[in-house]
Amino acid sequence: MALTRPEPPANGSLGTTPVPASAVEMAGSQATTVAEGVWRPWVRAQVVNALRHAAALRPFRVDEFGTGPEAPTPGHVTAVNDLLIRLRRGLVQEVGRVRTAARTALAAPGTPALQALVSTKEQAHTWVRAIERIWDFYFELFGQRQSRFGSWLLACDRIALDCYQHVYLGVPIPKSIPAPPPLAYLRTGFSPATFRRGIPLAHLGKQLNPYPLVQLPYHRLVSPWTLGAVLHEVSHNLQNELGLADAIPDSIARTLAGHGVPRPIALVFQSWQRETFADMLGCLMGGPAVVRSLFDVVARSPRSVRTFVPGAPHPTPYVRALLSLQLLRQLGFAEEALALRRLWDRIYPAPEASDYPKGLIRSLPETVPLVVHAIAGVPFPALGERRLLDVVRFRAKDQASVQEAAARLAAGTDPGVLPERFYIGAVRTALDQRLARADRLARNFYRQLARRA
C-alpha cells in the first residue's frame, strides 16, 4: 500500500485545539519578562566581575607578610607594587571598555552589542590572568617568609647582601648602588637558579624582574654546608651589575687567541663563561670550603662527569672542577687544591677525548690557567682597571677566621663579627672536621645568622 503525506488540518493547528490570540500574547509577555530577568543581570555581572578582578589584584601592603626581620623589606614590596601598578593601568582601561560595552548592550541588547561585550570581556580577562600570574608569584615568594622557612631564607638574604657589599666596597670607582638587594626563596628541584634584575621572566609573563632572586631547592637549605650555591648564584647577578657581562667572554677570547688556542676550543670556553665566572667569584668570596661545596654538586656518575654536551652553559663537570682548583692554587691554597685534585683524579681518571672537541682534553693543562687568568687576573675598566683578584680575594687570614668560627658554630656560641659569606665555610669546616652533629650545625647556622641585626 502506497504511503501518502497526510494533509495538514484546515485550521493550521497541526491537529491541536486552536490557541486564543490573547493566550499567545500573554505567553510572549511572560517570556520577555523571564528573558529580561536573565540577560540584564548577566550583562551587569560581567562588569561586576571585571571590577572585582581588577580590585583583587591590588598592590601588597608592606606589613601583610609579617614585620620581623625575615619579612620582605619595604623596598622589595614597593618594587613589586610598582610593577603591579604599572600593569594594572592597562587592566583598568580594559575594565572601562567592559563597562561601556555593557551600557551599550543594556540599551540595545542585539547580537552585535552582546558579542562586543563578550569580546571586550575576554580581553579584560586576558589582562587579569597575566597580572594574576605575577601577583601569585610574589604572593608565594613573600608568603614563604611567614613559614618555618622564614629564618632560613633570611640567612641566605644576609649572605647575599654581604657578598654585594663586599664586592662593591672593593671596586675603586663610584658605582650606582643596586637596590633592592637580592631575595632568596625556596623552590623544590634539582639545582638552584638565579634571576637577574631587569630580566624578563617567563613565569612573570616576560615582565622585568625588579630585583635579583636567588632560588634555592629545599635539599640545599636542609644542608647549609652545601650553600656555596648562594655565592655562585649571587655572582651571576654581580657579573651583570658590575658591567662585566660582555667583558668576560671578550677577555677569554682575547687571552686564548693570544696564546694560540684553536678557535673551536676557545669557543667552548666562551660558551661556559657565565658559569665559570660564577664559580670563580664564588671561590674568591668564600674560599676552599666553597670549592668543597661545588664538589658535592659536580661529583656524579663517571658518565655524567665526562659527557660533553655542545652548547651547554655549564662546563663539563670534569673541567669545572679543574678550573676551581686552579684558582685555589692562585689564592695560595695549594695544599688544599692538591688534596682535592688527588681525590678528583682517583674518582675520575682523565676522560677519553672522544666526547670532547678535538684537542680540548689534551689542551687543559694550558687552557685552564689561561681561562682563570682571563676572568680573575685581567684588569677591567668596569672595575676601575683592577683585577677581580684585587677587588675581592679570600686570604689565609680569612681561612683562619673561618676555622675559628667553625668551632664556635659547633659549640652554639656567637661567631662574632664574622662576615656572613664566611658562615658557609665555617659550617662546612665544622662538618668536615666532625666538630658537632650535622643537625646541630644546621640549627646553629640558621640561628646565628637570623639573630644578627
Whether the Cβ atoms of residue 269 and residue 367 lie closer than 8 Å to each other? yes
Contact predicate 429/407, CB 8 Å: no
**Sequence ranges of the domains in the chain:** 29-146, 243-390, 398-450
Q: Is 243 exposed, middle or buried (0-12, 13-18, 19+ CB in 10 A)?
A: middle
DSSP letter, residue 386: B
- The CB density around residue 342, as the number of other CB atoms within 10 Å, is 10
What cell numbers appear for 76 in the block? 622589595
Question: What is the per-residue pLDDT for 179?
Answer: 86
Q: What is the pLDDT of residues 274-316, one digit of tens each?
A: 999 999 999 999 999 999 999 999 999 998 888 898 888 999 9
Contact 124, 95 (CB under 8 A): yes
Average pLDDT over residues 363-380: 97
Nearest to 240 by CA among 263, 209, 207: 209
The pLDDT value given to residue 13: 37
pLDDT band at 178 (very low <50, low <70, confident <90, very high): confident
Cα(157)–Cα(165) distance, rounded to whole angstroms? 12
- Residue carrying the nine cell digits 610574589: 138
Confidence of residue 379 (pLDDT cuts 50, 70, 90): very high
HEC string for 345-382: HHHCCCCCHHHCCCCHHHHHHHHHHHHHHHHHCCCEHH
What is the C-alpha to C-alpha distance for residues 13 and 1, in angstroms, rounded to an integer? Answer: 28
Q: Grid cell 668596569 — which residue?
A: 382
State the average pLDDT over residues 179-199: 64
Count the alpha carbons within 13 Å of 13 in the hemisphere toward its beta carbon.
Answer: 8
Greater model confidence, 161 or 351: 161
**Residue that the C-alpha cell 695560595 belongs to:** 332
* CB 210, CB 82: distance < 8 Å: yes
Q: What is the DSSP letter of 182?
A: P
Q: What is the pLDDT of residue 193?
A: 45
Residue 54's identity, in one-letter code, is A
Task: Return all residues near 48 (Cβ < 8 A) that are at least 6 apart.
Answer: none
Burial 78-107 (b: 16+ CB within 10 A, else e): bbbbebbeebbeebeebbebbeebbebbee
For 355, residues 6+ apart whose C-beta sits below 8 A from its C-beta are 306, 307, 308
Residues near 57 by beta carbon (within 8 Å), at least 6 away in sequence: 84, 88, 91, 128, 131, 132, 135
**What would the mean pLDDT of 171-198 be, rounded to a whole number?**
72
pLDDT digits (tens, 9 = 90+) for 243-271: 999 999 999 999 999 999 999 999 999 99
Across the chain, mean pLDDT equals: 87
Prediction pTM value: 0.83
Beta-carbon count within 10 A of 288 CB:
24
Rama region for 217: left / alpha / beta (φ>0; ψ in -120 to 50; rest): beta
Hey, what's the cell of 161? 647582601
> Which carries the bigger pLDDT value, residue 321 or residue 30?
321
**For range 406-431, the mean pLDDT:** 96
Instruction: For residues 118 and 124, give the distance between their C-alpha atoms in angstroms, rounded to a whole number.
Output: 10
Element (H, E) at 216: strand 213-216
254's enclosing H/E stretch is helix 247-258
User: Tens digit of pLDDT for each residue in 40-78?
Assistant: 999 999 999 999 999 999 999 998 998 899 999 999 999
Q: What is the pLDDT of residue 400?
A: 97
Q: Are strands 213-216 and 183-186 parallel, antiparallel or unpaired?
A: parallel
Which distant-in-sequence residues (6+ apart) come within 8 Å of 6 by Cβ? Answer: none
